[in-house]
Amino acid sequence: MSAIKTRHPVWSTVRSYSIITIALFANALAWTAFILPSEIVGGGVTGLSALFFYWSGIPVAYTLLSINLLLLVFGVKSLGFGFGVKTIFGAVVLSVFFAILQPLITEPVVDDRFMSAILGGILGGASVGLVFTQGGSTGGTDIIAMIINKYRNISQGRVILYLDIVIISSSYLLFQSLEIMVYGYVTMAVASYSIDMLMMGHRRSVQLFIFSPKYELIAEKIANEIGRGVTLLNGQGWYSKEESGVLVVVVRKYETSMVFRAIKEVDTEAFISVANVMGVYGKGFDPIKY
């Protein structure tokens, strides 16, 4: 079901980088407003940078950028130059946001450390998941997670979860505090769950069967305006015995409203069947893994 017409590549690129930028700001805000002021050690390279900040006083931005640039070479080699461009962008912009926000926010937004762990985990995890949906990365353990996810059907949130256990556990060597380590685990678990929920929502797909005498016009509209492929099946009404085309369309769930709008503009009497699908692999959807 290859698409006949796709969205303009320049607009798609601008939109993708805009979303990544917003998500990176949210991620930096999660750390600087909730996690760092509460002296919580989260996961990932940002967590390592936070540990180094607590120990040496060097701002997170400098350590974060240095480690990410070292890890970048592995991402480029496995995931391609396109991934490298977005990861360089992500690493640099995230570091810039940290450099701006960390000096401005010296006290936690909320006084309760547990609440800071929850809010920081939700905002931080959701922002990372949003970056993933655009094919980018905030760097660090995200790179490792995306490499593994490319070749194995393991959720990125779960991979990050395992890696973060090691990073957060190492915080005990610096603070000698089980309390700080536990709050780090809380942040990690909430962030991983947020990533998985956002990724699952983004990848969820539906299959539509469309019955209408105006199937040709509907197919043209879906292919040209939405950019999704359409398959035409030959059908016959059992009662009327009339020949009719049946359209089969597979789209992401968030695109369903656009398909319904396109159908309604052509035929308000069209009959539509919608079903959730477990997974869709191939061009325009998820790559086939083994």
Mark whether 246 and 172 lie in a shared domain: no
Domain hosting 175: range is 9-202
In a domain, 2, yes or no: no
Residues 6+ apart with CB under 8 A from 282: 1, 288
Cα–Cα distance measured from residue 173 to residue 16, given in angstroms and rounded to the nearest whole number: 40
Out of 171, 202, 233, pick the residue that ends a domain. Answer: 202
Mark whether 212 and 155 lie in a shared domain: no
Q: pTM for the full model?
A: 0.69
Cα–Cα distance measured from residue 211 to residue 169, given in angstroms and rounded to the nearest whole number: 57
Q: Which residues of the chain carry a pLDDT beneath 50?
A: 1-6, 290
Tokens of 24: 């990176």
CA 284 to chain centroid, in Å, comes to 16
Q: Could you give phi then psi for residue 43, rounded to 5 degrees? A: -95, 180
Out of 202, 218, 242, pick the residue that ends a domain. Answer: 202
211 in Cβ contact with 246 (< 8 Å): yes
Provide the number of structural domains found in the chain: 2
In a domain, 38, yes or no: yes
Task: Please give the pLDDT value at position 81.
Answer: 67
Task: Please give the pLDDT value at position 199.
Answer: 72
Q: Give the count of beta carbons closer than 10 Å to the beta carbon of residue 35.
A: 28
Out of 202, 229, 256, pick the residue that ends a domain. Answer: 202
In a domain, 289, yes or no: no
Mark whether 81 and 175 lie in a shared domain: yes
Task: Please give the pLDDT value at position 5.
Answer: 43
CA 213 to chain centroid, in Å, comes to 39
Cα–Cα distance measured from residue 68 to residue 76, given in angstroms and rounded to the nearest whole number: 12
Q: Could you give phi then psi for residue 263, rounded to 5 degrees? A: -65, -45
